[in-house]
Structure 1
Amino acid sequence: MAEPFGNELASAAARGDLAQVTNLLGENVNVNAQNGFGRTALQVMKLGNPEIARRLLARGAHPDLKDSAGFAVIHDTARAGFLDTLQTLLEFRADVNLEDQEGNLPLHLAAQEGHLPVVAFLLRGTASKVSHRNKQGATAYDLARLYKRQAVAELLQESAGVRSEAAARN
């Protein structure tokens, strides 16, 4: 059930209306209130607006909360390729290794879509998870190859090779 102002805050965040988001937060609106569709403002925010994310997170928005489809905002951000918003989420301790309902990490989704800068950034935070397999048994590298994201596949292969060499030395 939607809480009072849940729809209003979510609508303002989805539109990218920073002034309205700021005004509502100033009225001590529950930042984790759900809209009529069961999603919070952070989950429906305009992804290319890291300042909205920052304001919501600073007021206590839960970055790892999943929607009814099993996605957290970090999954949507990685899939869409919004590096600046992703950096903001991680600043507020969003879980870079959070799995979606199919077992995909944000790294899988960014690799599938071919977002090279996002994949490069995520590699720094998923060092131990590069070989993670989703429920279909695919790694991020496998998805990059499947979707013909050559530059991403090369980066993932290079990254895995460097890690394998380092592990062999230890």
Structure 2
Amino acid sequence: MKRAINEEVFQMMVLDGLRSCGKSLSTAAAQGNVDSVRRILQDHRVEPDTLNEFGKTALQVMMMGCTSVACVLLDHGADPNIQDRCGVTPAHDAARTGFLDTLRVLVDYGASVNVPDHSGALPIHIAIRESNWDVVEFLAPLSNLGHQDNAGSKPLDVARDACAPEIVELLENLMASSSN
């Protein structure tokens, strides 16, 4: 019996240590501190997808405008398609916040722009709603434009609702060319 308790205590200590490492990595990423992120990954051998105390990875909480942090995490094997409990991926976050350079890096490292969050929204749905037009232009040729979110809206519907005639035209042209 005493041995089982010791093993349980040991497992709790290991888990606490992992949370602490995840917290340090996430904090450095959220602050955009590239050197600290690199040091934690290399010197402390922390896995890039280690969860912090909120159940998020460093890539999910990183300063979205800091592409160098994204590159370091991705170079060390971070999963660009990891979803949080709401189904949100780093690509959704980059689309929401309008950081095109970060989104490009994520896509270059294999991020899918066709993974829906729990509301069924793809990153393009979010970029349109947030009026991040340069992001929409980047995402449009890569996205499944026939995908409907949980409300039944395709990206074209969202663009019409947003009164964005240039984006409506872009999406209509892409859809017409893909059907040919």
Q: Does the 8 A contact of 1:113 with 1:149 survive in 2?
A: no
Query: Partner of 1:133 in structure 2?
Result: 148
Partner residue of 2:90 out of 73, 77, 82: 73
- Determine if contact 1:32/1:41 at 8 Å carries over to the other structure: yes
Name stretches of at least 5 consecutive residues in structure 1 with no aligned partner.
none
Deviations 1:60-112 (A, max 9, x none): 11111111122111111111111100110011111121111011111111112
Using the alignment, how far apart are the partners of 1:113 and 1:87 within structure 2? 18
Q: Work out which of the residue numbers 107, 120, 135 in structure 2 matches 1:118.
A: 135
Q: How far apart are the structure 2 equivalents of 1:59 and 1:80?
A: 24
TM-score by length of 1: 0.89
- Is 1:94 matched with 2:111? yes
Amino acid at match of 1:18: V
Q: What is the CA–CA distance in structure 2 between the aligned matches of 1:148 and 1:14, rounded to whole Å?
A: 34
1:31 equivalent to 2:48? Answer yes
- Across the aligned residues of Structure 1 and Structure 2, the Cα RMSD in angstroms comes to 1.5
Query: Matches of 2:29 and 2:46 in 1, distance apart?
Result: 13
Match of 2:60 among 43, 50, 60: 43
Give 2:161's aligned residue: 146
Paired letter, 1:67? D
The separation in 1 between residues aligned to 2:132 and 2:40, in whole angstroms, is: 33
Report SS of the residue matched to 1:136: coil
| TM-score, normalisation: structure 2 | 0.85
Q: State the alpha-carbon separation in 1 of the partners of residues 134 and 67 from structure 2.
A: 16
In structure 2, the partner of 1:6 is 22
Separation in 1, partners of 2:99, 2:79: 19
CA-to-aligned-CA distance 1:87-146 (integer Å, 9 cap, x gap)? 1001111112111101111111111212221111112212xx112111110011111222
Residue 103 of structure 1 is matched in structure 2 by 120
2-structure distance, mates of 1:20, 1:160 = 44
Distance in structure 1 (CA, Å) of the matches to 2:30 and 2:167: 30
* Counterpart in the other structure of 1:17: 33
Cα shift readout 1:39-63 (whole Å, capped 9, x = no counterpart): 0000000001111111101101111
Other structure's SS at 1:135 match: coil
Distance 1:52 1:14, change over 3 A: same
CA positional deviation for 1:21: 0.8
Identity rate of aligned residues, in percent? 37
